[in-house]
Amino acid sequence: MNHPIRPIAESEFPAVCDLLDEAFVSSWAPGQIERFKGVTEFDRSLAAFDGDRMVGFTQVMSFDMTVPGGVLPVAGVSSVGVLASHRRRGVLSALMRRQLADVHAKGEVFAALYASEAAIYGRYGYGRAVDNVFYSIPKHSSAFRADAPVDPTLRLRVEPPERAREDFVRVFDQVRPTRPGLYMRTAARWNATLADDDNARGSAGRLRCVLAEDDDGVRGYALFRVKRKVTDHDVPDGEVLLQELFAVDPAAYAALWRSLLDRDLCARVFAANRPVDDPVMHLLAEPRHLNAGTLDELWIRLVDVPGALTQRAYSAPVELVVEVDDDVCPWNAGRWRLSTAKHTCERTEDAPDLSLPVRILGAGYLGGRSLESYRMAGQITEHREGAVRELSAAMSWSPLPWGGLVF
């Protein structure tokens, strides 16, 4: 069936909410709808229609994102949904292809998204570029190593989050350029981050914060909620639910974690969506008590292969020919000679050193994914021995990438 696709008008926003409510089997709270509207860019939205009815939707949120060695504009893909009545009709494929064409026309070299289901987006050229970890740390087993950093000039300050917003922004903007994947937060994005209505609270309490500071200003902050519980014997058994923690130096970072782990009336800290190389793993005397698990986080899609590869830094020099397979964005397909010394990536007819699908280049783009593991899984063809290892080493980066906040 033919499903026309176009950007929506602001007057059509209620129909978008109805569609996403159905597609994600969710229910909107009034404040949540307004926050979602605040981050919606109507000129970068796309909706598919069956007659007068909206049956599919997606949008791009415009960000600056840190990449290895710098910051680039990124198309943040979000709110992708199709009505169950219109699945398997090509609606999603049409939306994703149109969106990638629009992103390419705008000049953005890559797109990023958080996937509701991990099996969906690889077929559109997105690669699993970033993982995150979650922790459930019992208070009674959270002692730090004796050499954990301590700064006697630091003090902790408890404030209602709405009074400390400017401090959060200053700290975050200092940290953001240091880690690939972190992205600019607009005022509307901060509004969503600090939301504290009943919908945002869920079964936990109000949003709380603690700041680490000295006489020169704030050096870090933690945002969290506390889920109050007691055992059958009236023993406090509360849980600290960490929303985010950022600090500009190791001592402030350690002080904030210690504050959370020592919280009265609480028995554990649950921290979701933390970076894979989170320093807290090196602070606990017994790191097994992190009780860590891993999930996928950011997915990356190179929309302009030469543009993306020449606008990031590399950890080692490399010059080789990469053959890219890309049937969704055919302008990327073919052989490219990448030279990090010359800062070039140009078309060539020379024999390739390796061949791979574009999704794997996306997976490695932020520096957190070993390309060698894809070769070992039979998903990269190596034509010259050692070529994959060379490219993988060059694209690797430290610290590891992490987006930190779902968009």
Query: What are the domain boundaries of the chain?
Result: 5-108, 144-283, 307-395
- Please confirm, yes or no, whether 221 is among the known catalytic residues: no
Element (H, E) at 319: strand 319-325
Mean pLDDT by 10 residues, the chain (407 residues): 92 97 89 93 98 97 97 98 94 97 98 95 98 98 98 98 98 98 96 92 94 98 96 94 98 98 97 98 98 98 98 98 98 98 97 98 98 98 98 98 97
Q: CB-based burial of residue 288 (10 Å sphere; 0-12 exposed, 13-18 middle, 19+ buried)?
A: exposed
CA distances to 14, 21, 133 from 120, in Å: 26, 19, 21
* Cα–chain center distance at 239: 25
Euclidean distance between CA atoms 25 and 391, whole angstroms: 42
Which ranges of 12-55 does DSSP label H, i.e. alpha helix? 13-23, 30-39
φ and ψ of 9, to 5 deg: -85, 160
DSSP class of residue 24?
T
Overall fold of domain 144-283: Aminopeptidase (3.40.630)
Euclidean distance between CA atoms 395 and 356, whole angstroms: 15
Query: Residue 346 pairs with which residues in a beta bridge?
Result: 337
Q: CB-based burial of residue 63 (10 Å sphere; 0-12 exposed, 13-18 middle, 19+ buried)?
A: buried
Q: What are the structure tokens assigned to 25, written together?
A: 């089997």
φ and ψ of 247, to 5 deg: -150, 155
CA distances to 311, 331, 344 from 350, in Å: 23, 18, 15
Residue tagged active-site, from 114, 253, 314, 407: 407
Question: 275-279: long-range contacts (C-beta < 8 A, 24 or more apart)?
Answer: 275/132, 275/133, 275/179, 275/399, 275/400, 275/402, 275/404, 276/131, 276/132, 276/133, 276/368, 276/400, 276/402, 277/398, 277/399, 277/400, 278/133, 279/250, 279/253
Residue tagged active-site, from 36, 110, 114, 121: 121
Query: Residue 71 pairs with which residues in a beta bridge?
Result: 66
Q: pTM of the full predicted structure? A: 0.95
Q: Are 8 and 58 in contact (CB under 8 A)?
A: no
Residue (of 308, 307, 294, 304) closest to 326 by Cα position? 304
Which pLDDT score is estimated for 1? 59
126: amino acid identity, one letter: Y
Residue (of 45, 52, 181) closest to 112 by Cα position? 181
* CATH 3.40.50.1700 at 307-395, yes or no: no
Which pLDDT score is estimated for 27? 87
DSSP reduced 3-state for 322:
strand
* Binding site as annotated, residues for acetyl-CoA: 80-82, 88-93, 116-117
Euclidean distance between CA atoms 368 and 380, whole angstroms: 17
Q: What are the structure tokens assigned to 276, written together?
A: 């894979």
* Binding site as annotated, residues: 80-82, 88-93, 116-117
The alpha carbon torsion through 322, 326, 329, 334 (nearest 10 deg) reads: 40
> 13-23 vs 30-39: helix axis angle to the nearest 10?
110
* Cα–chain center distance at 66: 11
CA distances to 195, 208, 217, 280 from 164, in Å: 14, 11, 12, 24
Q: Are 82 and 45 in contact (CB under 8 A)?
A: no
- Please confirm, yes or no, whether 121 is among the known catalytic residues: yes
Query: Residue 137 pairs with which residues in a beta bridge?
Result: 269
For the segment 345-385, what is each residue's pLDDT rounded down to a tens digit? 999 999 999 999 999 999 999 999 999 999 999 999 999 99
CATH class as words, domain 5-108: alpha beta
Q: Are 223 and 207 in contact (CB under 8 A)?
A: yes
Same fold, 5-108 and 307-395: no
Query: In angstroms, what is the C-alpha Rg of the chain?
Result: 23
